[in-house]
């Protein structure tokens, strides 16, 4: 599938849409999911143009996993979550809705059920302190 340079995450990378960033380096960006499935739901993306895991360069894949590991540790610490789930969907048939490679980081608690995708856009007043908490745990 050809990369759409106007997908939502490409626009976030260009600074055309707002984001709650928690971490950024030369190759990757981590920011809050705007429709969190659990508190602390964070996304990690490569800056390189890649739709799925099959399209990213080995360097981009390595950098994205490194950032995912680093940010996941901070999310786990910030929310004291005993479990931590990663998810990464490839293709619309797998449920991918934004055509730019991303890893979901989801803190998990026993007995707290969740849907993989949130349905409601969270208020900025709710998301801002969540991002701050994660940044402080990095």
Least separation in angstroms between residue 55's CB and ligand AMP is 14
Report the b/e string of 66-98 with b at 16+ CB within 10 A.
Answer: ebbebbbebbbebbebeeebeeebeeeeeebeb
Could you say whether residue 122 binds ligand AMP (CB under 6 A)?
A: no
List 118, 133, 135, 137, residue binding ligand AMP (CB under 6 A):
118
What residues from 30 to 69 belong to the interface with ligand AMP (CB under 6 A)? 33-35, 43
Helix (H, G, I), strand (E, B) or coil at 31: strand
Could you say whether residue 6 binds ligand AMP (CB under 6 A)?
A: no
Chain centre distance of CA 66: 13
Half-sphere exposure of 120 (CA within 13 A, CB side): 7
> Given the complex with ligand AMP, which of 124 and 136 has the nearer CB atom?
124
> Given the complex with ligand AMP, which of 76 and 104 has the nearer CB atom?
104
Strand order in the sheet with 103-108: 21-24, 28-32, 42-46, 103-108, 83-87
- CA–CA gap between residue 93 and residue 80 (Å, rounded): 33
List 27, 61, 65, 98, residue binding ligand AMP (CB under 6 A):
98
Least separation in angstroms between residue 88's CB and ligand AMP is 7
Residues that bind ligand AMP in the complex, under the rule CB under 6 A: 8, 17, 33-35, 43, 89, 95-98, 117-118
* Catalytic annotation, residues: 102
């Amino acid at each position: 599938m050809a990369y759409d340079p106007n997908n939502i995450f490409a626009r976030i990378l260009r600074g055309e849409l707002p984001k709650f960033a928690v971490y950024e380096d030369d190759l990757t960006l981590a920011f809050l999911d705007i429709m969190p499935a659990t508190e602390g739901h964070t996304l990690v993306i490569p800056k390189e143009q890649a739709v799925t895991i099959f399209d990213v360069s080995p360097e981009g894949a390595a950098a994205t996993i490194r950032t995912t590991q680093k940010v996941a540790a901070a999310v786990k610490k910030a929310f004291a979550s005993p479990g931590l789930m990663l998810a990464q969907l490839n293709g619309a048939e797998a449920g991918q809705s934004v055509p730019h490679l991303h890893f979901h980081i989801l803190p998990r608690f026993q007995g707290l059920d969740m849907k993989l995708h949130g349905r409601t856009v969270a208020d900025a007043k709710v998301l801002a302190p969540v991002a701050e908490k994660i940044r402080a745990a990095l």
